[in-house]
């Protein structure tokens, strides 16, 4: 599997560290406990397109949001997390 | 048909013409008392114990492919009960005891071989951790022996003991651990369940779960709707997909785990050996192939195949432990999809939907748990409450904080 890093070009995935699903967003500090439980523990875990976070640890060290199909490992998109804003 | 030496002799005399299929191939009925989704080891064991322990025989096991075509046929066949934490150890020891009587119980040769599981340690800190684990096991009444380097050398002299980077300092041995023939476990449970009246329905994929007023009514399948008051999901790898059909999100990620077998060689490894410095485990099958594996690839995957970087990682561990690996050819490799849970431990519990039960989160340790998983899941489904053995394996432990995190790795499924 090769990940197209927007800064370094296409690289083998062994250069990257995997974090997990990109969609869960950190709740506010005073959000109810249930929101924190969902954020920390629950996952959609789709069989299909999956937005996920990878860090290019052996390259530019930037965090990327990669959209990959979990059935075929085909990567549809990869962008720097800075590009997705804070919303 | 009961298998016995007499039957074998009689069949030998009449040219093996009297054998009948080990289980029926029934059409699914419109309604059952209980459905088990997933015809792997856990699902079939659940159906068997529902019938044997609880007298619930109007049961069907629904399998999308053929029984044992998923992880039951893709593991490295190791059985052991060398866990540390109270929520796990009694459960896995119950499984070990069920393994010990399984073949007589099922009237089927599952080739259970208590050849010993040896976990090597490569540092003083690892030895301390092994001693702690061994003591925890013994406090639960489970056998454990701490060996020094000479003790290990006497057992398995061909390892690279004086490796400069990873010297072997000793090991924790569970003599009652070992291996079992994984396909035979599936076939044995299937046949035994079938003999007690359970319908095993293959090529029947569940496509939806019908829920009404917070209660499960049955499942939609590729062979039509099948009604049931109780539905148990034992679909490791696809638990999130099935739970999603009932509107649930689980504390689970699906990851691929690879396993490998070498060409057959003469008898070499007469136990199970795990490498302490890296994640690597190896045994030898009765056909002579060395069966081995390591870590998961580490990213969400529903593809039943892995990547080359992990292959390299496993082979490096193999070479570090057993330099003779360099003269050996790998015959095959394959991948299975694991339910990696958020604390590395399984879930056997009711769900928020009445009549819907979850058996999930086995990470890559599901095979050894097969009998106890079925036994406890059957209990939970039959009595609508957990048995003390699976009382800690709750779905709500992630909300309550009562996690069972053997490695202390935190909520990162690929770190367990």
Homologous superfamily (CATH) of B25-81+83-108+182-251+343-415 is: FAD/NAD(P)-binding domain (3.50.50.60)
Please say whether the beta carbons of B34 and B228 come within 8 A: yes
Residues of chain A found within 8 Å of residue B255, distances taken between Cβ atoms: none
d(CA B4, CA B24): 20
Distance in Å, alpha carbon of A6 to nearest chain B alpha carbon = 20
Interface mutation vs chain B, best among A13, A24, A45, A78, most B CBs within 10 Å: A45
Task: In chain B, list all ranges with CATH 3.50.50.60.
Answer: 25-81+83-108+182-251+343-415
Tens digit of pLDDT for each residue in B164-194?
A: 999 999 999 999 999 999 999 999 999 999 9
Q: Is the ipTM of this complex over 0.90?
A: yes
Interface mutation vs chain B, best among A47, A74, A75, most B CBs within 10 Å: A47
**Is domain B117-177+254-341 classified as CATH 3.30.9.10?**
yes
Residue of A nearest to B240 (CA): A45
Query: A1–B307: do the CB atoms touch at under 8 Å?
Result: yes
Residues of chain B found within 8 Å of residue A72, distances taken between Cβ atoms: 303
Residues of chain A found within 8 Å of residue B306, distances taken between Cβ atoms: none
Distance in Å, alpha carbon of A61 to nearest chain B alpha carbon = 18
Please say whether the beta carbons of B393 and B348 come within 8 A: yes
Residue of B nearest to A13 (CA): B309
Residue A16 has pLDDT above 90, yes or no: yes
Please say whether the beta carbons of B75 and B179 come within 8 A: no
Tens digit of pLDDT for each residue in A2-14?
A: 999 999 999 999 9
Residue B32: per-residue pLDDT = 98
Residues contacting B12, CB < 8 A, separation 6+ = none
Q: Give all strands of the β-sheet with A63-69 in edge-to-edge order.
A: A17-21, A49-55, A63-69, A75-80
Query: A71–B303: do the CB atoms touch at under 8 Å?
Result: yes
Residue among B299, B300, B411 minimizing CB distance to A45: B300
Task: In chain B, list all ranges with CATH 3.30.9.10.
Answer: 117-177+254-341
Distance in Å, alpha carbon of B336 to nearest chain A alpha carbon = 12
Query: B412–A14: do the CB atoms touch at under 8 Å?
Result: no
Interface mutation vs chain B, best among A3, A43, A53, most B CBs within 10 Å: A43
Residue among A14, A41, A50 minimizing CB distance to B342: A41
Distance in Å, alpha carbon of B252 to nearest chain A alpha carbon = 6
Please say whether the beta carbons of B79 and B368 come within 8 A: yes
Residues of chain B found within 8 Å of residue A37, distances taken between Cβ atoms: 398-399
Residue written as token pair 């007298």: B55
**Rg from Cα positions in chain A:** 14
d(CA B376, CA B373): 5
Residue B1: per-residue pLDDT = 87
Query: B411–A41: do the CB atoms touch at under 8 Å?
Result: yes
How many CB atoms within 10 Å of residue B92? 22
Please give the domain boundaries of chain A with CATH numbers for all domains.
2-84 (3.30.2270.10)
Write out chain B's pLDDT in tens, 416 residues: 899 999 999 999 999 999 999 999 999 999 999 999 999 999 999 999 999 999 999 999 999 999 999 999 999 999 999 999 999 999 999 999 999 999 999 999 999 999 999 999 999 999 999 999 999 999 999 999 999 999 999 999 999 999 999 999 999 999 999 999 999 999 999 999 999 999 999 999 999 999 999 999 999 999 999 999 999 999 999 999 999 999 999 999 999 999 999 999 999 999 999 998 889 999 999 999 999 999 999 999 999 999 999 999 999 999 999 999 999 999 999 999 999 999 999 999 999 999 999 999 999 999 999 999 999 999 999 999 999 999 999 999 999 999 999 999 999 999 98
Residue A86: per-residue pLDDT = 64
Residue A56 has pLDDT above 90, yes or no: yes
- Which residues sit opposite B59 in a β-bridge? B34
User: At CA B145, angle to CA B144 and CA B148, rounded to 5?
Assistant: 150
Query: B300–A21: do the CB atoms touch at under 8 Å?
Result: yes
d(CA B415, CA B242): 24
Residue A87: per-residue pLDDT = 52
The helix (H) or strand (E) run that includes residue B11 is: helix B5-13
Residue A84: per-residue pLDDT = 87
Distance in Å, alpha carbon of A18 to nearest chain B alpha carbon = 6
Please say whether the beta carbons of A2 and A44 come within 8 A: no
Tens digit of pLDDT for each residue in A20-39?
A: 999 999 999 999 999 999 99
Query: A20–B414: do the CB atoms touch at under 8 Å?
Result: yes
Interface mutation vs chain A, best among B302, B304, B394, B405, most A CBs within 10 Å: B302
Residue B211: per-residue pLDDT = 98
Q: How confident is the model at residue A85 (pLDDT cuts 50, 70, 90)?
A: confident
Interface mutation vs chain A, best among B301, B309, B398, B411, most A CBs within 10 Å: B301
Query: B411–A42: do the CB atoms touch at under 8 Å?
Result: no
Distance in Å, alpha carbon of B314 to nearest chain A alpha carbon = 14
């Amino acid at each position: 599997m090769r990940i197209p890093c927007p800064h370094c070009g296409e690289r083998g995935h062994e250069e990257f560290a995997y974090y997990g699903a990109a969609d869960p967003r950190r709740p506010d500090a005073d959000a109810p406990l249930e929101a924190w439980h969902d954020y920390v523990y629950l996952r959609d875990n789709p069989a299909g397109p999956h937005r996920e976070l990878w860090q290019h640890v052996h390259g530019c060290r930037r965090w990327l949001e990669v959209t990959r199909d979990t059935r075929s490992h085909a990567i549809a998109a990869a962008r720097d997390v800075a590009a997705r804003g804070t919303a | 048909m009961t298998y016995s030496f007499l039957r074998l002799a009689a069949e030998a005399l009449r040219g093996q013409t009297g054998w009948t299929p080990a289980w029926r191939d029934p059409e699914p009925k419109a309604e059952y008392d209980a459905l088990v989704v997933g015809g792997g080891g856990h699902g079939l064991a659940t159906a068997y114990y529902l019938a044997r322990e609880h007298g619930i025989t109007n049961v069907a096991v629904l399998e999308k492919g053929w029984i044992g075509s998923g992880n039951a046929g893709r593991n490295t066949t190791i059985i052991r009960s060398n866990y540390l934490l109270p929520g796990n150890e009694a459960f896995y020891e119950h499984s070990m005891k069920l393994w010990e009587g399984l073949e007589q119980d099922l009237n089927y040769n599952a080739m259970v071989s208590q050849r010993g599981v040896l976990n090597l340690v490569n540092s003083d800190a690892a030895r301390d951790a092994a001693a702690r684990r061994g003591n925890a096991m013994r406090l639960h009444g489970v056998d454990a022996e701490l060996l020094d380097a000479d003790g290990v050398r006497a057992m398995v002299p061909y390892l690279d003991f004086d490796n400069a980077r990873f010297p072997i300092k000793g090991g924790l041995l569970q003599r009652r651990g070992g291996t079992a023939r994984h396909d035979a476990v599936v076939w044995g449970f299937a046949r035994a369940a079938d003999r007690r009246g359970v319908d095993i329905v293959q090529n029947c994929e569940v496509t939806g779960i019908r829920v009404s007023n917070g209660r499960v009514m049955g499942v939609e399948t590729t062979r039509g709707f099948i009604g049931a008051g109780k539905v148990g999901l034992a679909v490791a790898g696809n638990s999130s997909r099935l739970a999603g059909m009932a509107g649930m999100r689980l504390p689970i990620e699906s990851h691929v785990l690879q396993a490998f077998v070498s060409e057959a060689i003469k008898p070499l490894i007469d136990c199970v050996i795990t490498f302490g410095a890296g994640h690597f485990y190896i045994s030898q099958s009765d056909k002579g192939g060395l069966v081995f594996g390591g870590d998961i690839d580490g990213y969400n995957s529903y593809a039943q195949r892995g990547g080359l970087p992990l292959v390299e990682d496993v082979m490096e561990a193999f070479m570090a432990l057993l330099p003779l690996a360099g003269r050996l050819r790998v015959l095959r490799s394959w991948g299975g999809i694991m339910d990696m849970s958020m604390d590395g431990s399984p879930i056997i519990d009711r769900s928020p939907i009445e009549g819907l039960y979850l058996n999930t989160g086995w990470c890559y340790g599901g095979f050894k748990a097969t009998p106890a998983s079925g036994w406890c899941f059957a209990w939970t489904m039959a009595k609508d409450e957990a048995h003390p053995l699976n009382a800690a394996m709750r779905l709500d432990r992630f909300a309550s904080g009562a996690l069972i995190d053997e490695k202390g790795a935190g909520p990162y499924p690929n770190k367990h």
